[in-house]
Amino acid sequence: MTLQEFQSAAKTTAKGYQKITAFCSVVVRYSARDDTKDIHWCWVDTCCIDKTSSAELSEAVNSMDKWYANAEYCVAHLADVVRTSAEHSALNTPTGKPSEWFSRGWTLQELVFSTKLFFCDASWALIPGVDKRTDTGSALISAVTHIPVDCLKDSQNVHLHCVASKMSWAAARHITRKEDEAYCLLGLFKINMPLLYGEGKRAFFRLPKEIIDQYEDETIFAWQDMDPMLVPPDRLNRRPVAMPILAPHPGWFVYKTRRSTKPVLLDARPPYRLTNRGLEIEACAMALYPYSVADMASWTPAVRLLEDELLVIQLNCCASFEGPRNGIMQDPSVWQPWTIALRRLFSPDQAAIYVRVLCWATGSTLSSHLKTIVQNDPKVRVRSEPRDKYHIVATTEQMDLLARQPGAYDADAYSGHVQTLDEMCNSFASLASGQ
Walk along the chain (435 residues) in steps of 10 and give the mean pLDDT of each run.
Answer: 74 78 86 69 86 90 93 91 66 84 94 92 88 91 91 92 91 91 95 93 92 93 59 41 84 61 80 92 82 41 47 83 42 68 76 81 65 60 83 87 70 42 48 41
Q: Are residues 104 and 207 in the same domain?
A: yes
Query: Which residues sit opposite 286 in a β-bridge?
Result: 312, 384
Q: Are residues 202 and 72 in the same domain?
A: yes
Q: Are residues 173 and 290 in the same domain?
A: no
Residue 75 is predicted with a pLDDT of 92
Q: Is 200 within a domain?
A: yes
Q: Are residues 254 and 182 in the same domain?
A: no
Q: Is 21 within a domain?
A: no
Q: Is 22 within a domain?
A: no
Q: Are residues 318 and 205 in the same domain?
A: no
Q: Are residues 312 and 266 in the same domain?
A: yes
CA dihedral sign, ordered 400, 402, 404, 410: negative
Q: Is 153 within a domain?
A: yes
Q: Are residues 154 and 119 in the same domain?
A: yes
Domain boundary among 215, 250, 280: 215
Q: Are residues 84 and 210 in the same domain?
A: yes
Domain boundary among 154, 184, 215: 215
d(CA 393, CA 389): 13
Residue 391 is predicted with a pLDDT of 93
Residue 237 is predicted with a pLDDT of 39
Q: Are residues 254 and 144 in the same domain?
A: no
Q: Are residues 237 and 193 in the same domain?
A: no
Residue 301 is predicted with a pLDDT of 35
d(CA 86, CA 132): 19
d(CA 182, CA 195): 10
Q: Is 336 within a domain?
A: yes
Q: Is 66 within a domain?
A: yes
Work out the angle at residue 345's Cα, subtended by the Cα atoms of residues 434 and 226, and round it to the nearest 5 degrees: 90
Q: Is 426 within a domain?
A: yes
Q: Are residues 253 and 361 in the same domain?
A: yes
Residue 190 is predicted with a pLDDT of 94
CA dihedral sign, ordered 306, 425, 396, 363: negative
273: domain range? 233-432
Q: Are residues 351 and 258 in the same domain?
A: yes
Structural domain total, the chain: 2
Residue 374 is predicted with a pLDDT of 59
Domain boundary among 189, 215, 241: 215
Q: Is 210 within a domain?
A: yes
